[in-house]
Structure 1
């Protein structure tokens, strides 16, 4: 079975697991986003990418589930093979499960700006077919989550990351055995906050990821800053019909020291992404 196919099967299994509990609420969507200023370390920062995604969030009696699978399709500026006129293909999946201590105990946990406390666990995994690195990332995450008292939601987590990779360049036949990076921390936030009485919301995530030590080639890694935010317009709510079904908006990503590659090092300008995007979502 091809790595991308295996990863898609894993994604399907994760989504099935997330739906296995009787849900108090759920939201599933398919989406599309596009930008012309994506960046890749050791490459350019003018890559065109189309991204298709499947997203699911749900809550049940003891907590919440979150699942996302992205299919990223690059243009020839991020080639699929050396000298190729076709672009790289990547599948990236994320799964998070948060146990809500207040729901488990039956008593609210509130203090200061915090309206809830939980424990989050999950994983990231990817497969990319490109002209060089061919990432095969696997990462486990675990740590506390603070649910902040804001309109909509704002969850802030401090997660311990256990990450490894086993890149394989099939074009040169160069294989790297699976390599475990130093266990490191990530401070992360995810949010969806309505903007007044308008059918607009400010949504997104932000990560600060500590250095993961030496990479598989003996180089030093750098801390990463990754902000990805979007302003989304609810077309149904704006038109006076069914709200929450079809949304469009503008998105911006800033990612410095991408994948831990120092922006001041040999990874060059591709280690910093400054990417505006358009975005559309259909929820069902």
Structure 2
């Protein structure tokens, strides 16, 4: 969720390669005794309007996403490929953005609101056709939470220090994640709050990004989850600017 600077297509490919290698390395971290507790991989297609700082404010997005938990911790990874409309110069907008977020279990608690404390990390990478890119590294601590709401599948809170690349000032970030499901209705998403930038011109900003979906697997009688719904993006002071984004997208998500 940071500002970008210029990059070549070969560097984009390298970033994606490094991220995928990192996922494989994280899997290798588990010992013979370690177990996979949960794993899910999905691909989504979205179409929406009213996106700030994007030509004609329209985006079509394809997202590859993976989440898994293990006895040693867990990992979350996604890559977005955005396709937009032409800018004033007639150039079509394209962007690739991804995040790799591993966590390492430090302590576990029974019968507690805080289920687990983790060492948390995050790598953010991206570039677009306007000649911007980013490589940011976040390090901090997080907690998996036991929220007493029927249907609540997971919730977490993390606090990071963000080491931002190039001329972008470092800052801090709080990230909340959550997932709820009942009667095939699903609500999940995240909240990012970036604050305390070392650059006084960069405003604190908050990004609230829920997805509201319905799982058609039972209705269609298929083996895999197929969800339809919408994603809403509220981003106050996007990238620390004066812009505030209110964008809704139609969504189809297939799990495999």
Q: Superposed, which structure 2 residues align to 1:45-84 within 5 Å?
A: 46-76=56-86, 79=87, 83-84=89-90
Give runs of ≥4 in structure 1 deviating > 4 Å.
Answer: none
CA distance, structure 2, for counterparts of residue 155 and residue 83 of structure 1: 43
CA distance, structure 2, for counterparts of residue 8 and residue 112 of structure 1: 38
Q: Superposed, which structure 2 residues align to 1:269-280 within 5 Å?
A: 271-280=243-252
Q: Which of the two has higher C-alpha Rg?
A: 1
- Counterpart pick for 2:194 among 209, 220, 223: 209
Q: Superposed, which structure 2 residues align to 1:206-245 within 5 Å?
A: 206-214=191-199, 220-242=201-223, 245=225
1:110 Cα deviation after fit: 4.6
- Counterpart pick for 1:259 among 236, 239, 250: 239
Match of 2:154 in 1: 153
CA distance, structure 2, for counterparts of residue 282 and residue 141 of structure 1: 29
1:239 Cα deviation after fit: 4.1
Check 1:161–1:116 CA distance in 2 against 1; reply closer, same or farther (3 A cut).
Answer: same
Match of 1:136 in 2: 133
1:112 Cα deviation after fit: 5.0
| Structure 1 stretches lacking a partner, 5+ long | 103-107, 165-177, 264-270
Q: Superposed, which structure 2 residues align to 1:22-101 within 5 Å?
A: 23-40=36-53, 46-76=56-86, 79=87, 83-84=89-90, 86-101=91-106
- Counterpart pick for 1:179 among 139, 142, 167: 167
What count of residue pairs does the alignment treat as equivalent?
Answer: 239
CA distance, structure 2, for counterparts of residue 12 and residue 88 of structure 1: 25
The alignment yields a C-alpha RMSD, in angstroms, of 2.1
| 1:241-261 deviation digits (Å, cap 9, x = unpaired) | 43x521111111000111111
CA distance, structure 2, for counterparts of residue 12 and residue 54 of structure 1: 12
TM-score (norm 1): 0.77
SS in structure 1 opposite 2:132?
A: coil
CA distance, structure 2, for counterparts of residue 29 and residue 71 of structure 1: 14
TM-score (norm 2): 0.85
Q: Please say which of residues 153-162 and 19-28 is displaced more in the overlay.
A: 19-28
